[in-house]
A and B are shown apart, each in its own frame.
Chain A
Amino acid sequence: MTSVTTPSKKKRKLPKYIAQKLPWHQSWILRGTALSSAVIICGFLASVAMTLQGINTITQIVYDPEIESLLNQHLDSIKEIHTLRQEILVNRLQREIQPHYRAQPEKHVNPKIIRRWLKEANFGEIANVNKIKMSLYSPSPEQKDELDMVANPIIWVSKSSLRIFQYIVELPEGKTKQSFKLANALRQRYKLIRKTWSDQIRPAIIQVNTLIITFSLILFIFILILIARKFQKRIESLLEGFSIWSEHNTDYRFDKKWTGELKLITEQFNQMANEVEINRRRRLYLEKVSSWQIIARKLAHEIKNPLTPIQMMVSQLVRKYSGSDPDFKKLLTDAQNIILEEINSLRKMVDNFSQFAQLPEINLSTHSLEVICNHCIELEKAAFPQHKIYFVDDTADSTTLVDDTLLKRVIINLIKNAAEASGNDPAEIRIKLSKTEKNYEICILDKGPGIPEDMQARIFEAYFTTKHTGPSPGMGLGLAVCQKVIIDHGGDLTVNSKPGNTEFKISIPIK
C-alpha cells in the first residue's frame, strides 16, 4: 500500500525588513527621517519647477522680435536724420563755395578759407569750426571718381569725414552719433542675449539653481542623518546600559557625559541602582543574621540544658565523698572548681547567644541624637578614665525617630571597641555628630592600630572576632548586633580603617 503524500506548500519567505521588526526608536527615527526627506525633496522639486517657470516667462520677453525690430528702426531713423542733416549742411556749403571756386583755383584753397566757408554754412551747429581737424587728401589709385575735384568739390568720404577740394575735414563726434552709439549698444546687448539665451544663458541659470538647490538638499539630509544617528546612538547606549545592569553586572552605572533629558534619566537610573544595591545587601545581611540567630538559639538551648545537671552532679560527687585521703579530696575540690568555672563560662556564652537570638524589635520614637551621644560618652568616660573621649556636634538640631535603647547599645559598643583597641595608654577618641542632606552621621574615630584590610569586610559577620585573647575575649557578635540595629533603623554602619586612624560611621536617615 503506497502512502499518498500531499505536496508541501512552499513557504513564502518574507523580506527581512518585514520579518525583523525594528526597535521602537529605530522605527521612529526612520519615520522622522523619511518624512523630513520627503518634505525637503518636495521643496527641492517645487524650487526647480518655479525656477523653470520663471525662466520660461523671461524667455518670452527675451524672444520678442518686436523689440529688436523697434531698435533697428530707431537706429535707422537716427541715421536718416543724420543723413538729412548732412545733406542740408553740404547744400549750404556748396552755396558758399560756388561763388568762390570759380574765381580761385583749388590750389589756393587752404584750411583758413575752408574754416570760413564752414562757419558761413553754419557748421558751427554741429561742431566748433576752429577745432575741426583737416588733412590733405591722398586717394588710392582705385578711387578715380574722387579725383575730379571740379566736378565733385565736396564729397562725404565717410559719415564723419568730408572732402572739400583736396582737404579731408574730420567732423567731431556729435550728439547724433552719441545717441546712435547708445542705441546700438542696447541693440547689441539685446541681440547677444537673444542669440545666446538658449545655448548658454538659460542652461547656465538652470544649472546654477539646480546645483545650489541640490547641494542645499544634500547638506540638509546630511545634517538630518547626523542628528538621527547621534540620537540613535544615545538611545542604544542607554538601552545597552540597562541591559548590562539587568543581565550580568549590577555594579554598572552611567557616567556623567550625558546632557539634557537623558542626563536626568541616567542620574535617576544610577540613583535607583544604588538604592537597589543597598537594599539587596541589607536583605542579604538580614538573611544571614536571621540564620545566625536561628543557630544561636539552637546552640543556646542545646548547651544550656546539660549545664545544670553537670553542675549538680559534680557538687554531689564532692559532697558524697567521705574518705580520709587528703590528696584525693584535694583533687576532687580542684576538679569541682575547674568544672564550675567552665560551666559559668559556657553559661555566659549561652547568654550571649540568647541575647543575639532574641534581639528585640526596634521601637521608634523622637529623640535627640546629641543627648543620646552625650549619655553614652559619660558612661564610657567612667569605664575608661585613662582615655580622652570627647564629642563634636556640627548640627543645630539632631532630633529624629530612633530606638534610643538600642542606639545607645550600638554607640556604647563602638566606643568600647575603640577604647579597647587603643590599649592602656591614654588615647583620644572623638565622637562627631553631623548632618547631610538625607542622613545624620555619628562618627567614632580612634587612633588605634587599625583593622587589617582583609578583615574589614568580615568584621560585621557573626562569630568573627579579632579579640581571641586578653581580659575580655569576644564572641564576635557585638558588631553584628550593631549592624542589624542600624539596618533596622534604615541606616548603614561602615568602617574605614588605617593604622592610627579607624573610623566607624553610623548613618541614620532623617525622619
Chain B
Amino acid sequence: MMRKLNNFAIIITCILFSISSAFAQNKTTLMTAASWHNKMKKLTLLIPLIEKLSDKQKDLITSGFSTFSALSVYRKANGKKELLFRNRCTVRFDTWEEIFETSLLDMNFKTVTVKKLNTLAELCLTARIPATEKISYLINNGGIVHAELQVKQIPTEESDRIRDWVIQQQSRVMQGLFSHMMGDLKYSEAINIAVQVPSAKKKNRQKKRNINIYPDYQENKSP
C-alpha cells in the first residue's frame, strides 16, 4: 500500500509542477527590394532596412540603453546559409545630448557620433555589398537573398541596477531563485527580411545617386 501511495504522490507532483512560457524572441519575416549602384566603376548592391525597422527596435535604440545591432545578409543554398555581408554596431543614445554614440565593430571599432536616426540607419542598418564572386550570380539574373536584423540590449550598469531593484522586491527566500530564473532582464527583437534583388542590367541600375555615406556625423577622436 505504501508503494501505491508513493506512486500516487509522484504522479500528483509531476502533474502539479508547471513550466511557464519561455522567453522567446519575436521574429517577423518581411519583404523589401534592393538596388544596384555604380560609383567610380564599382558595382555595389545596396539594401536599406531603415523602413523595415520595427517600432520595438526603434524604441530599443532610442531608449538610452546600450544596444547591439547586427545586420546579416545571406543566401540559402543546398539547405545551408552562406553569409554575404555583415554589419555590427553598438549604439547608445544619450537622452540629454540627444546624440547616438556609435561604435562600428566591423570597421576597426570606429566610434562616431550622429544626431539623427536616419544617419545611424545609413551607418548600421544598411547593407552595402560590393560585387564580388559571392554575388556574381545576382548580377545577371537577380534573385532573392535574406537579411536578418537583430537589435538587442546590452546589459549595462543601468539595466543591472534595474534588475537588482526588481529582484529586491521579492522576498528573501525567493531572491536567489528568482534572480537565476529571470536571466539578464534585457529585451531584443530580430526581424527576417526577404530581399528581392533585381538584375544589374542597365534599365534596373540606378546610375546617379548620391551615396555620400557618412553625412552629418562627427568622428570621436578619443575612444
Give A contacts to B, CB under 8 Å: 22, 26, 29-30, 33, 37, 41, 44, 75, 79, 140, 142-143, 158-160, 177, 180-181, 184-185, 188-189, 191-193, 195-196, 199-212, 214, 217-218, 221-222, 225, 228-229, 232
Contacts and interface: CB of A to CB of B under 8 A. Distances in A.
B30 interface: no
B177 A211 contact: yes
28 contacts: A29-B1, A41-B16, A158-B99, A159-B97, A160-B97, A177-B96, A180-B96, A188-B63, A188-B64, A188-B158, A191-B63, A192-B162, A193-B166, A195-B56, A195-B59, A200-B23, A200-B182, A201-B182, A203-B21, A204-B20, A204-B181, A207-B19, A208-B170, A209-B174, A211-B177, A214-B13, A225-B6, A232-B1
Interface of B: 1-2, 5-6, 8-9, 12-13, 16-24, 56, 59, 63-65, 95-99, 158-159, 162, 165-166, 170, 173-174, 177-178, 181-183, 185-187, 215-216, 218-219
B20 to A, nearest CB: 4
Contacts of A177: 96
Contacts of B166: 193, 201
Contacts of B186: 196
B179 to A, nearest CB: 9
Q: Is the interface of A mostly helix, strand, loop or mixed?
A: helix
Given A189-B162, A192-B187, A208-B181, A203 B20 contact: yes
Contact of A218 (B13, B24, B95): B13
A140 B17 CA distance: 63
Contacts of A204: 20, 178, 181-183
A30 B174 contact: no
Nearest to A214: B17
B2 A212 contact: no
B27 to A, nearest CB: 13
A119 B216 CA distance: 34
A139 B221 CA distance: 11
A30 B20 contact: no
B24 A199 contact: yes
A209 B16 CA distance: 12
B16 A222 contact: no
B180 to A, nearest CB: 9
B2 A232 contact: yes
Given A44-B16, A203-B20, A212 B1 contact: no
A341 B173 CA distance: 107
Given A158-B99, A192-B65, A192-B187, 15 more contacts: A22-B1, A41-B16, A177-B96, A180-B95, A188-B158, A192-B159, A196-B186, A199-B23, A199-B187, A200-B23, A200-B185, A203-B20, A204-B20, A212-B174, A217-B13
Closest 10 CB pairs of A and B: A203-B20, A204-B182, A204-B181, A221-B9, A195-B187, A189-B162, A206-B20, A208-B178, A199-B23, A214-B17
- Residue with the highest number of chain A CB atoms closer than 10 Å, among B9, B177, B183: B9
B162 A33 contact: no
Contact of B173 (A184, A185, A212): A212
B199 to A, nearest CB: 36
Given A192-B187, A196-B187, A205-B178, A225 B95 contact: no
Nearest to A23: B1
Contacts of A158: 97, 99
A352 to B, nearest CB: 66
B156 to A, nearest CB: 10
Nearest to B64: A188
Contacts of A228: 2, 5
A204 B181 CA distance: 6
A184 B178 contact: no
Contacts of B215: 142
Contacts of B218: 140, 143
A212 B174 CA distance: 8
Nearest to A161: B97
A385 B8 CA distance: 85
B12 A184 contact: no
B130 to A, nearest CB: 24
- Residue with the highest number of chain B CB atoms closer than 10 Å, among A26, A177, A206: A206
A203 B22 contact: yes
Contacts of A143: 218
Contacts of B165: 189
Given A160-B97, A199-B24, A41 B12 contact: yes
Nearest to B215: A142
Contacts of B181: 204, 207-208
A69 to B, nearest CB: 14
Contacts of A199: 23-24, 187
A423 B17 CA distance: 89
B95 A75 contact: yes
B178 A217 contact: no
B64 A184 contact: yes
Contacts of A185: 158
A228 B98 CA distance: 70
B197 to A, nearest CB: 32
A29 B4 CA distance: 13
Nearest to A191: B63
B25 to A, nearest CB: 9
Nearest to B163: A192
A229 B95 contact: no
B170 to A, nearest CB: 8
A48 B56 CA distance: 32
Nearest to A181: B96
Contacts of B174: 208-209, 212
B165 to A, nearest CB: 7
- Residue with the highest number of chain B CB atoms closer than 10 Å, among A33, A143, A205: A205
A37 B4 CA distance: 14
B187 to A, nearest CB: 5
Nearest to A177: B96
A410 to B, nearest CB: 58
A225 B9 contact: yes
Contacts of B158: 185, 188
A83 to B, nearest CB: 11
A229 B3 CA distance: 10
A18 to B, nearest CB: 15
